[in-house]
Chain A
Amino acid sequence: MRFLNTRQSISENAFELINIFIMLIICFLTLYPIWYCIVNSFNDGADAMMGGIYWWPRMFSIDNYKAVFADTSILKAFAVTILRTVIGTALAVYFTAMVSYALSKKELAGRKIYMMIGSITLFFSGGLIPFFILIKKIGLYDNFLVFIIPSMFYFFNAIIFIAFFKELPSALEESAKIDGANDVVIFIKIIIPLSTPVLATIAIYVGVYHWNDYFAGVIFIKSMDLQPIQTFLYKIIAENTSGQMMGRAAGSINQGAVTSQSIKLATMVATTFPIVCVYPFLQKYFVKGILLGSVKG
């Protein structure tokens, strides 16, 4: 009997070790590609062309970043992204919360129909072309508002809000109602302050979408001035128009050591940096959001 137990614990220990090893490999495979970009972006561009920089910059240099932040078109693109992320996220979160608050009320007449109208949008859509035609016809094409208004509402987020609002105790609302407050006042004065966790959750989802979205800029935007940074990056990465764009960027600081590739990497790192810094602290919120969504889903 004792013999058996020891054998089991040996195999369990082996399992534990192998498991830890697998997890370490996963962590390495996850982090290394990002690390690779970082060290190469901090290396002299011409030197990096020769390759072989894997763990640490060989010729440390911040010229790539100087070039990125000296380029007005890159700065403008960053400004568009920051603006759309801030405005778009704030509007989307409060707008979705407001609609969802009404939909979370059982006494709302027509609630079932409203929920059906919303649920259908989760499983069926008009698709790219009819949406494009709509954007053209209502005058949002090549307009900053195309980043804001069409992404103001997404029914999946509404489901998360509704699940949350249903759990709120109704005592506060009832006493406010007796004092004569209407639903809008109750929503703003009582519900919003109570809903910080779910507001944060949705803000993360929408914020990440805004920060990372390149596609709206590709199809709905013509002017260079309105391009978000991801669209700018998309154009230099996938369409390989880097030659001219990067030429300007590199020329602006007169450094031969900056190449189009090294600027590309620096832009990629600079674009990703803010989101990577922020997400570990928001972890508990997005995990909670997935849970709320899956309960109802």
Chain B
Amino acid sequence: MRDLSVRAGSKSRILAGIKKLSRQKYLQGMALIGIIWMMVFAYLPMYGIIIAFKKYNITKPIASAPWVGLQHFNDFFGDDKFIQILTNTLGISLLKLAIGFPLPIIFAVLLNEITSMRFKKYVQTVSYLPHFISWVVLGGIMITWTSEGGIINHILMELKVLNEPVVFLAEPQYFWGIAVISDIWKELGWSAIIYMAAIAGIDPELYEAATVDGASRFNRIFMITLPCIKGTVAVLFVLAVSSIMGTNFDQIFVLKNPLNAPASDVIDIYVYRMGMNSARFSYATAINLFKSVISLMLLLTANRVTKKLTDASLF
């Protein structure tokens, strides 16, 4: 008896489920088209990662390729370039994190202290501009400026810093600096938008109360503005840390050349070179998987640490 009622119950639940689905068949259809798109363009490539453990040949199906275990990973760790690539990746990323992460916060705080609304708006609009310029064009500008007859050499020679022109992008020792500076130039204003928004969301009464209590401008910045945007900073910091293993591909791809390769060869570029130029698909995929796994672990760790420290986190 009880058995029967349970069966009847589950039957009616299934019926109710089918009814619900048929009632929302249009909604389901709209959602499923998106899911199918993701299955093809996001999840099929994820399945393709298994070639990192296989000896893959592009003319044959992935499934039929023979397994080779961790051979590609071992090859990568034993690769002559391994140390150099890792150093370049971490070096450029950590410099960007150390300099490029705080600058937009400082910029947003300083911009917020501007009293003239029109001037503020003008500066803000100008500061977004480089974000809309492609890395190709910016790369073109950088190459022109740092060339032998470029404006940088001109200025440095006028100032007697240099005696003869230096082709900066042909010398590995300048590459990290160029990468960091051009990144800041392009994204300073854009990255500051989110902080500006967070600052705009602070209750003005806090500032008024502080002013009545005699707080100076610096007090207000350090006691009100910065503590109030702590959460936003924490979330963006988590994201920044998790992207340490991936330098800005487009940027490096445009600025790199054979002469600066000792300083510009980063993981992403190496993956591209191994895969697209040398057609070592399995090897390149293994390197990329190594990168993705570390990035994911960094994301989870940074998220947990900031959650503990600031109560704010990405998820």
**Interchain nearest-CB distance for B106 vs A (Å):** 10
CB-defined interface of B180-211 with A at 8 Å, one 1/0 digit per residue? 00000100110001100100000000000000
Stretch with Cβ within 8 A of A (4 or more), from B3-11, B37-45, B79-87, B94-102 = B37-45
Partner of A31, one of B126, B253, B254: B126
**A272-B296 in contact (CB<8A):** no
- Please give the number of chain A residues whose Cβ is less than 8 angstroms from any Cβ of chain B in the complex: 93
Within the assembled complex, what's the spacing in Å between the Cα atoms of A265 and B145?
12
Question: Which residues of B from 7 to 37 have beta carbons under 8 Å from A?
Answer: 17, 20-21, 24, 26-31, 33-35, 37
**A215-B253 in contact (CB<8A):** yes
**A125-B292 in contact (CB<8A):** yes
- Please give the number of chain B residues whose Cβ is less than 8 angstroms from any Cβ of chain A in the complex: 90
Is B172 close to A, CB under 8 A? no
Stretch with Cβ within 8 A of B (4 or more), from A63-71, A127-135, A247-255 = A127-135
Question: Which residues of A from 97 to 114 have beta carbons under 8 Å from B?
Answer: 98-103, 105, 107-111, 114
Residues of A within 8 A of B74 (CB): none
**B24-A107 in contact (CB<8A):** yes
Mostly helix, strand, loop or mixed at chain B's interface? helix
Is B151 close to A, CB under 8 A? yes
Is A214 close to B, CB under 8 A? yes
**A128-B275 in contact (CB<8A):** yes
Within the assembled complex, what's the spacing in Å between the Cα atoms of A30 and B192?
14
**A237-B136 in contact (CB<8A):** yes
**A238-B126 in contact (CB<8A):** no
Residues of A within 8 A of B218 (CB): 15
**B45-A130 in contact (CB<8A):** yes
**B114-A20 in contact (CB<8A):** yes
Residues of A within 8 A of B194 (CB): 290-291, 294
**Interchain nearest-CB distance for A166 vs B (Å):** 14
Residues of B within 8 A of A79 (CB): none
**A297-B110 in contact (CB<8A):** no
Residues of A within 8 A of B284 (CB): 128-129
Partner of A264, one of B110, B140, B188: B140
Residues of A within 8 A of B268 (CB): 128
**Interchain nearest-CB distance for A286 vs B (Å):** 8
Within the assembled complex, what's the spacing in Å between the Cα atoms of A134 and B49?
11
Residues of A within 8 A of B58 (CB): 133, 136
**A183-B128 in contact (CB<8A):** no
Residues of A within 8 A of B44 (CB): 126, 130, 134
Mostly helix, strand, loop or mixed at chain A's interface? helix
Residues of B within 8 A of A111 (CB): 31
**A184-B51 in contact (CB<8A):** no
Is B289 close to A, CB under 8 A? yes
**Interchain nearest-CB distance for A126 vs B (Å):** 2
Stretch with Cβ within 8 A of B (4 or more), from A82-90, A115-123, A192-200 = A115-123
**Interchain nearest-CB distance for A52 vs B (Å):** 8
Is B144 close to A, CB under 8 A? yes
Is B69 close to A, CB under 8 A? no
Partner of B276, one of A34, A102, A118, A132: A132
Is B175 close to A, CB under 8 A? no
Is A51 close to B, CB under 8 A? yes
**With A15-B217, A54-B151, A103-B34 known to touch, is A30 a contact of B254 (CB < 8 Å)?**
no
**With A127-B289, A128-B271 known to touch, is A121 a contact of B136 (CB < 8 Å)?**
no
Within the assembled complex, what's the spacing in Å between the Cα atoms of A132 and B299?
26
Partner of B31, one of A52, A114, A149, A182: A114
B124: nearest residue on chain A (CB-CB)?
A283
**Interchain nearest-CB distance for A232 vs B (Å):** 9
Residues of B within 8 A of A129 (CB): 48, 51, 271, 275, 281, 284-285, 288
Partner of A184, one of B30, B107, B250: B30
**Interchain nearest-CB distance for B209 vs A (Å):** 17
Is B127 close to A, CB under 8 A? yes
Question: Which residues of B from 283 to 302 have beta carbons under 8 Å from A?
Answer: 284-285, 288-289, 292, 296, 299
Residues of B within 8 A of A261 (CB): 144
**A23-B151 in contact (CB<8A):** no
**B26-A279 in contact (CB<8A):** no
**B26-A128 in contact (CB<8A):** no
**With A130-B49, A130-B51, A238-B253 known to touch, is A99 a contact of B31 (CB < 8 Å)?**
yes
Within the assembled complex, what's the spacing in Å between the Cα atoms of A75 and B133?
20
Is A33 close to B, CB under 8 A? yes
**Interchain nearest-CB distance for A24 vs B (Å):** 8
**B114-A19 in contact (CB<8A):** yes
Residues of A within 8 A of B256 (CB): 238
Nearest 6 pairs between A and B by C-beta?
Answer: A126-B45, A130-B48, A99-B34, A212-B134, A102-B31, A127-B288
Chain B residues engaging chain A, CB cutoff 8 angstroms: 17, 20-21, 24, 26-31, 33-35, 37-38, 40-49, 51, 58, 62, 107, 110-111, 113-115, 119, 122-123, 125-130, 132-137, 139-141, 143-145, 149, 151, 154, 185, 188-189, 193-194, 197, 216-218, 232, 235, 249-250, 253-257, 268, 271-272, 275-276, 281, 284-285, 288-289, 292, 296, 299, 314
8 further contact pairs, Cβ within 8 A, besides A36-B141, A99-B34:
A19-B113, A23-B110, A23-B119, A34-B133, A123-B299, A132-B275, A212-B135, A271-B137
26 pairs across A/B with beta carbons < 8 Å? A15-B113, A33-B141, A37-B141, A49-B149, A96-B34, A102-B30, A105-B24, A117-B35, A117-B43, A118-B38, A121-B42, A126-B45, A127-B49, A127-B288, A127-B289, A129-B48, A130-B51, A153-B34, A237-B140, A237-B254, A238-B136, A272-B137, A275-B132, A275-B133, A279-B128, A294-B197
